[in-house]
Structure 1
């Protein structure tokens, strides 16, 4: 693993920790951001593999699916992306965007 890759993974892990704290301790901020969020999930799985590969992500051929998408997903998964920084964490490609 190169130094650049290590720095990139550390940055993404920092985003994971940031989202955890936002969801639990900055609920008003999260609510305000979600009011601005538009679009829909592309179900590409990028957010499920940012810090680590989620064990609940099922890859069958070219299809991706979450084993608990409809029931039981953690709050941080359901609320992703919270803001534009989260979209940057997945390489800028997401079905969601924020309108200001």
Structure 2
């Protein structure tokens, strides 16, 4: 949407800023990946629902401080959380649960 409204330079800036905010919000050893478009995924090991919510709130707090004069758009985010204890050979299912 930002690419269509403000151009690819603005869209790329928003994606880069978002990625940096997510990386700065997660713990050492956690993994952040861009799934595509405007979707990011965080794998946080040894993390229960309370810890996952803490990480999510930290990400949202960082994103809410963004000023993107080039993009000139309202900035918002939604975060899905899926928690699994024990070994999980079906990581795709866990990812889908978080995205639902």
Q: Which has the larger radius of gyration?
A: 2
Asked whether the two chains share a fold, i.e. TM above 0.5, the reply is no
Taking structure 1 as the reference length, the TM-score comes to: 0.27
Taking structure 2 as the reference length, the TM-score comes to: 0.27
User: With CA pairs under 8 Å and 6+ residues apart, which has the higher RCO, 1 or 2?
Assistant: 1
